Each structure stands twice: as C-alpha cells, then as structure tokens.
Amino acid sequence: MVKKMADRNFMEMIQKKWSEGKFVCVGLDSDIDKVRETISFSKFLNFLDGNSQSIYAIWHFNKAIIESTKDLVCAYKPNIAFYEAHGLDGRDILEKTINYIHSVCPDVPVILDAKRGDIGNTNAGYVKGSFDDLIADAITLHPYLGQESLQPFLKLKDKGCIILCRTSNPGAGEFQDLIVDGIPLYQYVAKRVSNFWNKNGNCLLVVGATYIEELRQVREIVGDMPILIPGIGAQGGDLEKSVLYGKDSHNQGIIINSSRGIIFASKGPDFAQAAREETQKLNDQIVQYLQM
C-alpha cells in the first residue's frame, strides 16, 4: 500500500504536465454494468475466476486503463459515486486504483471527484478521508456553504480545491443563472473564488464544455486561474471552443476531462488500447486548438 506521499503539490504537478503538452484528464467513472459488458471479453476473466459479475472487475478494468494511458494524461479523476455504490469493497477498489496511479505514474495527480462541502468540522473529516486515507491530490467542492465552511480544504496549500461554478448538466441554470448583485450566480461564484478564496493559489473552477459562452465569461473574470472542463465526449461539449475560450494567457490553464468517451471507447478485448488511442486523439486536438 502506498503511504502518505510527501512533496506532492497539485498545482506544481498539473503545471508540469501542461509544460509537457498534456491536457487530458481521464475520468475513471467505472460504471459496473459497462465494465462487466467490456471485461467479459477480456483476459481479465482469469483474475476473476471466470466471474465477470465480481465488482472487482472495476479494479482490473481501471488498472488496464491506467497502464495504457499513464504517459498521455495530465490527471486522473475517479468519481467517488461509482465506488461508494459498492460499499466497503468499492472503497477498497478506489483505494487500490489511487495507489496504483501513485505507484506506476507518481507524477500524475489524482483528482477525487467527490463534490464535498459541509460545515467546517464535517469538512475536516472529508479532508482526512480524501487526502490522508485516499491520498488524492485535489478534490471537487461545491460553494453553497461559503468560504468559511471550506477553510479545512482551502488552507491546504499543496492540494487542489476545484470549485463548482458552471456545471455541465442540462439543468445547471436552475440556480446558476439566478441574478445576484446584477450578475448570474455562476459569475458571482467565479468572482468570489478568484478574488477572495484563492489566497493560497490552490483554487480551480469547474465550467462545463456544454456552456461555451459561460466558459468565455468565466475566463475573463478569473484571469489565469485554472479551469477543469468536463462535458467533452459523451455529453457532446464543443472541444474547439472549450480550448479557445478556456485557455489562459499562457496557452495553458485547462484540464479537459473525458470519462465515458475514453474508458468505454471499445467494448471488446482492445478496450485499453482504444482508451489510449482516444486519449492521444483528444490531446492532439487540444494542442492543435491551442496553437490557433
């Protein structure tokens, strides 16, 4: 088991990946039904005693995806829901997955997609679970309870605090478009985070590729603050405009996440190779658009 790792600073790690020309974050949204459908064709049945129904198929699936893509990515982002759904075994699979990333590609940061946010003392427990136990490098957070509640996260200078701003789901506007002090709430969140929350330089924002104009507006507000951009691939986000509107003044500053579009690119025994090809293709497109 990988123990707590010293000298890991999320912002430094992600900036190093950008300098290497890597901008793709692979989302490990390893839905057990899709994994079973894929892995039943693969050699990993040998590890499962011929039983593709075992939820530990997720672990062998993740391991193959990581092994195939580890030299191409800027980050991995396991969504905790796909693991918590399986209780203690799911937690074990998540821990194994993160430990494996740290073991085979220690220079690649892990973003825990957990969307935490509660009162301060509860968040202290989330901090321990996310960073001391699971050893993530960054975590997604929601801003609804305000800056004070998130201090247990924000004060950790070496950890990335990725704040939900304009999410990629179709119903995002129900609250995020409400007018606050004359501007939409998502813009107000962007202003608060960039002007007041980011004292340690460890904040990022989430803005979905399905809301291109909003992405452009957020980039204007936050300057060079990094932006995590989900919604590419299965959700149909516009990649070219996401890059053009999302990039910072240094032609970097974006983490383009794709989950299903990469990890389930094939349902056959070539699923890991297909994931690699999709990751390479996506990153090549990003680099091309950055040069425009």
Q: Catalytic residue among 16, 34, 115, 191, which?
A: 115
The predicted structure's pLDDT at residue 211: 95
Q: Which of 16, 25, 20 is nearest to 279 (CA)?
A: 25
At 239-262, the pLDDT tens digits run: 999 999 999 999 999 999 999 999
Q: In the numeric block, which tokens belong to residue 136?
A: 């993530």
Q: What is the CA radius of gyration of the chain?
A: 18
Phi, psi of 180 (to 5 degrees): -130, 120
The ranges assigned to domains in the chain are 10-285
- In a structure prediction context, what are the per-residue pLDDT tens digits for the chain, which is 292 residues long? 444 556 899 999 999 999 999 999 999 999 999 998 887 765 555 555 444 458 899 999 999 999 999 999 999 999 999 999 999 999 999 999 999 999 999 999 999 999 999 998 899 999 999 999 999 999 999 999 999 999 999 999 999 999 999 999 999 999 999 999 999 999 999 999 999 999 999 999 999 999 999 999 999 999 999 999 998 876 778 999 999 999 999 999 999 999 999 999 999 999 999 999 999 999 999 999 999 8
pTM of the model: 0.94
Helices (H), the chain: 10-19, 32-39, 57-69, 81-84, 87-104, 120-127, 151-154, 173-176, 185-192, 212-222, 239-246, 260-263, 271-290
CATH 3.20.20.70 matches 10-285: yes
Q: Tell me the C-alpha distance between 206 and 140, whole Å.
A: 8
In the residue annotation, 115 being an active-site residue is answered as yes
